[in-house]
Every structure is written in structure tokens, then in C-alpha cells.
Structure 1
Amino acid sequence: MSPTKRTKIAVLGTGGGGRAHAAKLAELGHEVHVGTRDVDATLARTEPDMMGNVPYKEWLADHPGVTLLPFAEAAAAADRIVINGIDGHNAVAALTGIADALSGKVLVDYAVPYIYNPELEHPWPTPWGVMPKLDPCDSDSLGEQIQRALPGVRVVKSFVTQEQETVVDPKAVGGGDHTMFVAGEDADAKKAVTELLTAYGWSDVLDLGGIVSSRGMEMYAGMHSAIGFALGFGTPFGVKVVR
């Protein structure tokens, strides 16, 4: 994907990650359609979300190149690429509900299948409470679940090993000298995602193979958090595969 070629791209989700992608894609000259469950409800919110992001209506006013639509309409508007920023617990159900709009397209999934506030025998305390639990884990992954649920969609797991603000601006860390990963069953789909990452500024993209490698990327979330706690929460960092 050339950063100068204008295409229509959908971003599903209005959280901080979705906002980062939508803003960057608009900056690169793309026509961006953001999907949400309920447009009226999203625009009616007047308080910051749980992560402190300003109400979406305020954010949208500052980004005139972005349109807000229901999930299905946003996905249908995309030429080729749809970015999934729906929370992991609800992703399969939400995406299955718009399967027709996603058919034949490349779905970039960066969701982590977290269960929040889990009842655990040995909880991991964090600055905001107990560390969420991954479900599925080990023997399955959210990436695989999405691909099985949507056989007509070309799912690529990527972006998940990094904060999304850094995904869209890799040079903010170490001049961009760190590694991003892709995994999926369709080579052309992975190529399209790699081209998008290149437009974002990534120079080191490692293909991990089939969608089963989603397991490794999703399970890395715990290590990512541990590093973040050690550095100080909010400190940007990257991971480099040296070879």
C-alpha cells in the first residue's frame, strides 16, 4: 500500500487504539470510516472513557477526515483493509454479526482476549487492580477463533505486541529500530498489512507464519505489561528481534 494512494479503510472501535489508527490513516491521505456499535450512543457520551480519552464527539470534531458509522457500514465502506479494535471479549460475536460486510477483505486483528476482574487463586496485582486473564490461551487464540468464525475473511494478526500509539509511530521509540509481527493464512493479506506497516514507518516486520502464531502474540501481552511496569507505566518501548 503506497502512503500516497488514497484508499478507503475501516477501523472498528472508538477507543484509544482505534483513534490512533484513524488519525494516522487520515494523515496518510486515506478515507477513514470508523465503526461503532451505536453511533448515537457513542456521540452522546460526555465523559472521558475508562482510559481517560475525551468523548468521541470531541475527538471527531478535531478529525474532519474521519466518519463514524455502525460496524457493518464502516466495514462495507472499506476497499480492502479493516482494522479490528473491538475489545477481545466481544470481538467474535461483533465480527460474526457483520460477516457479509467483511467478506473477502483483510481483517487486521490486534485484540487481546482479556477477561477483566477474574477470580484467580494467585492473582497478579497491577496499578489498576488484578491483571486480566487470557481466554482463550495456550491451545487456542482469539485470532484463530475469528478466522474460524469468518472463513471468507482473510485474518491477519498484527499490531498486538505494541501500544497502538507506537504502532502508528514506530520512530518514536529507538528511531523505529524494533520489530513488528504478522501472522495469517493468506500471503497476499500479510503483504497488504506489511505495506500498511511500512507506510506507518516500520522497517522490520517479521512474518510468524500461520494464524496459529496468534497464540504467541496474544500471550506476549503479559510480558508486555511486565516490561511496562518495570519501566514505569506509560513509558514507550519496543522489542527488537536480533538475528
Structure 2
Amino acid sequence: MRIAVLGTGGGGRAHAARLSELGHDVTVGTRDPERTMARTEADMMGNPPYPVWLADHPGIALATFADAAASADLVINGIDGANAVRELTAIGEHLDGKVLIDYAVPYEYNPDIPHKWETPWGWMPRLDPVDTDSLGERIQRALPRTRVVKACVTQEQETVVDPAGVGDGDHTMFVAGDDADAKAVVTELLRSYGWRDVLDLGPLACSRGMEMYAHMHTAIGLALGGRFGVKVVR
């Protein structure tokens, strides 16, 4: 399958590398390929400069968001939450009818709020939207002809593409969306990653709970000091 991964951060790199290993034709999308390839310093999360990473993955192509999406059968959105709707809307014509997996969290960094939560990497971002809306729903409203599925948002992406790395893979992945066929496509992809327990939460409105879980995920991760999984016990 031809798959576009939009975003060059650690999450996008994890998906692109794994998908390439699985034999898919992978193109990573970025706002400005020339600028991306000119980077010489690590990003804010400490990931090496993108050209260094790409040199170790010669089977993966780099293109603009538009060109990557245009040639893809399926698109994975790893654009940061604050810019996702704008960037995806700009390439909407290339997303018509396609399945879009959205794992972005709607973080607002350096929020001006009275009760800040300090973490090892700075103040914890604020979620916006929250409670009565979600980024997944906003993307779907902006792109009514795209089949949006919220998934992979409740795990670090390194765990998403390698579930066996935590508890031998005995934990749960969640999906939500308004198109049953699109969710089936995403579930099949997740199973190829190694997920055995994929729970369909229902409509895309369930993105709200999935995105709001981000703060709990951070708290657990800080308490444990490493990667972990969440399992729904029936």
C-alpha cells in the first residue's frame, strides 16, 4: 500500500520506519522539504536531524504535505495539533475519499494559565479543544469527504508500531470514527503492527476522551519512568 506519513517528528519517523519494514511504499510529508533537509540540530524532543535519520532509511521518500498525500492510498496525520486543521485543509483535495488516521493531540504549548504543571521538559501543554469537542472532530468537519479515524493517540508512537515491546503486546489499542469500513482498514494496519486487542470505541466523538487521556498518560509515564501499555479487562 502507498502510505503518506505527515510529520517528521519522532512519531512520524516511528510509523514510517515500521511501515517500510512491512513492505509499504512510504512517503513522509513536511511543510518545506528543503528546509527539513537543511536541519543540522536535534529537534525539541532530542531526535537527530532529519537528514541523518532519512539516510538510515533509504527506502522512504520525502515530499511536501500535498505531494505525499496526493500519491497515497492511506494517510497518517502526525502534524502537531495546533496546526493540523490548517495544514490538512490546505491539502484537502488530495485527501478526498481517503482514510486518514489521526493520532495528533491538540496541545497548546506554553499556556498562560494560573495553575501550571511542571514536567521535566517544561510546562505541561493545555488541551484545546477539550470536553465538548476534539481535534479529530474538527478535522472531520474541515474535511467532510475524508474518512477520519482517531487512533494511536493513547500510546507513544514507538509503542504503537511495536506493541510487543511492552508486556509482550498484551494491552489495548483504541479506534474511533464514523466510517465502519475506514475503521476496518485501520484495524487491519494495527494488527500488522502486532496489536491483538483493538477496541472500537464507536463514533468520532469518542476522540474527546482519547485526546483528554493525554494528561493521564503523561502522569503514568512520569510515575513509571518509561513506556507502558493500558489494557481493558473485560
TM class by shorter chain equals over 0.9
User: Where does residue 58 of structure 2 map in the other structure?
Assistant: 64
Q: Indicate which of 109, 129, 137 corresponds to 1:144.
A: 137
Distance 1:30 1:210 in 2: 28
Q: Per-residue displacement from partner, 1:105-139 (whole Å, max 9, x unpaired)?
A: 00000000000011111111211221100000001
Distance 2:58 2:123 in 1: 38
> Could you tell me how far 1:65 is from its partner in structure 2?
1.0
Mapping for residues 34-113 of structure 1, pairs under 5 Å: 34-79=28-73, 81-113=74-106
Q: Per-residue displacement from partner, 1:78-130 (whole Å, max 9, x unpaired)?
A: 12x10000000000000000000111000000000000011111111211221
User: Where does residue 227 of structure 2 map in the other structure?
Assistant: 236
User: Where does residue 157 of structure 2 map in the other structure?
Assistant: 164
> Could you tell me how far 1:64 is from its partner in structure 2?
1.0
Q: Per-residue displacement from partner, 1:140-193 (whole Å, max 9, x unpaired)?
A: 000000000000000000000000000000000000000000000000000000
User: Where does residue 200 of structure 1 map in the other structure?
Assistant: 193
User: Where does residue 3 of structure 1 map in the other structure?
Assistant: none
Aligned amino acid, residue 17 of structure 1 = G
Distance 1:55 1:226 in 2: 28
Please give the TM-score of this superposition, normalised by the length of structure 2.
0.99
Q: Indicate which of 103, 111, 115 corresponds to 1:122.
A: 115
Aligned amino acid, residue 175 of structure 2 = V
Q: Indicate which of 17, 21, 24 corresponds to 2:15.
A: 21
Q: Indicate which of 9, 34, 39 corresponds to 2:3.
A: 9
Distance 1:47 1:33 in 2: 22
Distance 1:55 1:131 in 2: 24
User: Where does residue 25 of structure 2 map in the other structure?
Assistant: 31
User: Where does residue 212 of structure 1 map in the other structure?
Assistant: 205
- Helix, strand or coil for the counterpart of 1:88? coil
User: Where does residue 170 of structure 2 map in the other structure?
Assistant: 177
Q: How many residues align?
A: 234
Q: Identity of paired residues, percent?
A: 73
Aligned amino acid, residue 63 of structure 1 = H
- Helix, strand or coil for the counterpart of 1:208? strand
User: Where does residue 132 of structure 1 map in the other structure?
Assistant: 125
Distance 2:127 2:83 in 1: 13
Distance 1:236 1:133 in 2: 22
